[in-house]
């Protein structure tokens, strides 16, 4: 039975969404093509109508999940509160793809790394747009530093088994970024 172009596009998006969630939850190597297709409600054989290989799936998934937002109108303080929160730390499958996948990306193909690079550029621009009170010449540095601190804090908070220290890493990183971005509000 022939599938319409619209249905093919819907299926492809569903595969990418499912793969993104599974990769963030388990890592690239722990997820099989069969598992992705089953979770998407599709047959394993249908995979090759969308992707040439698992490496292609990985690269396209990264590009897909990191291209979701243009960052327009980002309320950075609200974003910080949500991002550096225990519920984000505790739900990697639905969390930030950068925090969930960055450590493993170095072992992936050049195409996957290029997709991560493009996503990182986009994320930095998004944060920079949310920093209108910072001088233009300092904005990119503040955006890179803030984003790196946020992602690093989530990675570290997920890696340790001490819940109190994990919470502290999130809280103190948020407080440090807020104080860095607005020294007058430092506590």
The model's pLDDT over 86-119, given as tens digits with 9 standing for 90+, comes to: 999 999 999 999 999 998 999 999 999 999 999 9
Q: Are 5-65 and 71-185 in the same CATH fold?
A: no
Class of domain 71-185: mainly alpha
Tell me the backbone φ, ψ of residue 85, rounded to 5 degrees: -125, 150
pLDDT, tens digit, for every residue of 14-55? 999 999 999 999 999 999 999 999 999 999 988 999 999 999
CA distance 14 to 23: 14
pLDDT, tens digit, for every residue of 149-164? 999 999 999 999 999 9
- Region 176-185: mean pLDDT is 78
The pLDDT of residue 71 is: 56
> How would you class 51 by CB atoms within 10 Å of its CB: exposed for 0-12, middle for 13-18, buried for 19 or more?
buried
- Region 123-128: mean pLDDT is 93
Domain residue ranges of the chain, discontinuous segments joined by +: 5-65, 71-185
What is the pLDDT confidence band of residue 10, given thresholds at 50, 70 and 90?
Answer: very high
The pLDDT of residue 180 is: 85
Task: Pick 94 or 181 by higher pLDDT.
Answer: 94
The pLDDT of residue 187 is: 46
* Correct CATH for 5-65 of 3.40.50.1970, 3.30.70.1400, 1.10.150.50, 1.10.10.60: 1.10.10.60
The pLDDT of residue 148 is: 97
Q: What is the DSSP string of 87-127?
A: HHHT-GGGS-HHHHHHHHHTTS-HHHHHHHHHHHHHHHHHH
pTM of this prediction exceeds 0.85: yes
Q: How far apart are the first and last CA of the chain?
A: 65
The pLDDT of residue 72 is: 59
Residues in the chain: 187
What is the pLDDT confidence band of residue 137, given thresholds at 50, 70 and 90?
Answer: confident
Q: Kindly tell me if the per-residue pLDDT of 65 is higher than 80.
A: yes
The pLDDT of residue 78 is: 93
């Amino acid at each position: 039975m022939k599938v319409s172009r619209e249905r093919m596009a819907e299926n492809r998006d569903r595969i990418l969404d499912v793969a993104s969630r599974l990769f963030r939850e388990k890592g690239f190597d722990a997820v099989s093509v069969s598992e992705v297709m089953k979770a998407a409600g599709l047959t394993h054989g249908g995979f090759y109508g969308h992707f040439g290989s698992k490496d292609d799936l990985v690269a396209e998934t990264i590009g897909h999940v990191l291209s979701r937002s243009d960052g327009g109108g980002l309320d950075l303080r609200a974003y910080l509160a949500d991002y550096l929160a225990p519920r984000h730390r505790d739900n990697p499958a639905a969390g930030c793809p950068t925090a969930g996948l960055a450590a493993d990306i170095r072992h992936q193909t050049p195409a996957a790394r290029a997709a991560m690079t493009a996503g990182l550029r986009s994320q930095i621009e998004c944060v920079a747009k949310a920093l209108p009170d910072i001088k233009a010449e300092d904005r990119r540095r503040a955006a890179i530093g803030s984003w790196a601190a946020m992602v690093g804090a989530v990675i570290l908070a997920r890696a340790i088994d001490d819940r109190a220290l994990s919470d502290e890493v999130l809280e103190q990183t948020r407080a440090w970024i807020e104080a860095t971005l607005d020294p007058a509000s430092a506590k």
